[in-house]
Amino acid sequence: GRLEAVTQQMGYHPQYLDSFLKMQHYLMHMDGPLPFDCRHYIAIMAAARHQCRYLVNLHVLQFLRAGGDPQWLRGLEFIPPKLRNLNEINKILAHRPWLITKEHIEKLLKISEWSWSLAELVHAVVLLAHCHALASFVFGCGCEQDEGLGGRGSLKALSLGNQCFCEATAGNSCSQELLRINRKRSLDSCMELDSLRERMQRIHVETEGREEMRLLQQDREEGEGQGAGVGVQGRGLYGTPGWLSLLADPDGEVTGATNLACYMQDPDFGYQDFARRDEDQTQVFRVQDYSWEDHGFSLVNRLYSDIGHLLDEKFRMVDGLQSSAMAKRQGCEPSVFKRGIWNYIHCMFGIRYDDYDYAEVNQLLERMLKVYIKTVTCYPEKTNSEMFDRFWKQFKHSEKVHVNLLILEARMQAELLYALQAITQYMI
């Protein structure tokens, strides 16, 4: 099943997979500051920044299952202002996290009735960084291509009863408790699908009725015949609004979202090289001044209980993965090779380590591998189907997945460092 593509790829490194699934489950489905439907909508907003239909489709289904308002799926104009206000920090985190300042944080925390609490904002920031980084992994490992031509695939109806990737794949669950929960939910999934079909169809009929009335009124105002055939913005195939293309077909499959532009503003805002030669040097983020271990971990764990431990375990797990064969091909020790990749990724986001000789990066990483890493890290939506196979043929598949896991975790930590530093500066 297509929903299991991420789990199948990470399954080459089962210890990391277990750590990833525990964090993902806690972030999306356990007690926390944010409501469950809002968590999935934030994930939709984050994945849309990189045009990742795989993740958008997954979280649209989870959003509906959590009782989310289907009207929100029409786009940012139809969601509460509080959620919509998150768009700016989502955009910056996804593409140029070094631009985040304490003023961005202050704006979110002090907007009268639509203000965020510190705990809610930390939860949202972790969600955004997680989904941005996961989009890099999805594109980097070709999971997005599995969705078919044009990125429009179908998601198995069983996904409506799933809670996270771990529950979509028997044998790879993160605990016996999750296995037990999964078995119960799988029994209910068919009933939930029928209920969802009826709910979506009812909303569809009501919406179509209102749209007909609006068009008739428009016809009367514009004169006979001028309103006929006028398209409605955001409508999908067969006259159905794009956000309602999620209705299940007779075979029990649910078609994915068609238009991701409605989930983001300023689509032309993208990654730019941190230090352009024709511009003044932007202030470098020095890990010696603000690090995950000494600063970020304690802050995030204090405001969102236990998530810090789960994130820290995941960071340590990817660092501990074996890569002796991969490093041997590059003529170095495994730890040296992994640190070269990690520091190269952080360098692209303006994060520097004073104790590291960056000349090593060019010695350790071949040019084509650097191109691949930069593409998947900074603009994953530009990753094409040939890159995974052609750019580094000397690596085994599991080794390629390992590099993509390093990209995922290094990118996520980079975004978190900038966001958490801005929150810290606001709190001082």
- Which of the residues are catalytic? 52
The candidate with the shortest Cα–Cα distance to 83, out of 52, 39, 119, is: 39
- The answer to whether 307 and 412 are in contact (CB under 8 A) is no
Handedness of CA 397, 400, 404, 410 (dihedral sign): positive
Residue 210's Cβ-count burial label (10 Å; 0-12, 13-18, 19+) is exposed
Radius of gyration of the chain (CA): 22
CA 61, chain centre distance (Å): 15
C-beta atoms surrounding 71 within 10 Å = 12
CA distance 21 to 172: 9
Calpha distance 374→394 (Å, rounded): 19
Sign of CA dihedral 233, 237, 242, 243: positive
Question: In the beta sheet, which residues pair with residue 235?
Answer: 241
Q: 274-281: long-range contacts (C-beta < 8 A, 24 or more apart)?
A: 274/98, 274/347, 274/348, 274/349, 274/350, 275/350
Alpha-carbon gap, residue 333 to 326, rounded angstroms: 9
For residues 259 and 243, what is the distance between their CA atoms, to the nearest angstrom? 8
Residues 6+ apart with CB under 8 A from 268: none
Closest CA to 158 of 42, 58, 38: 58
d(CA 192, CA 178): 19
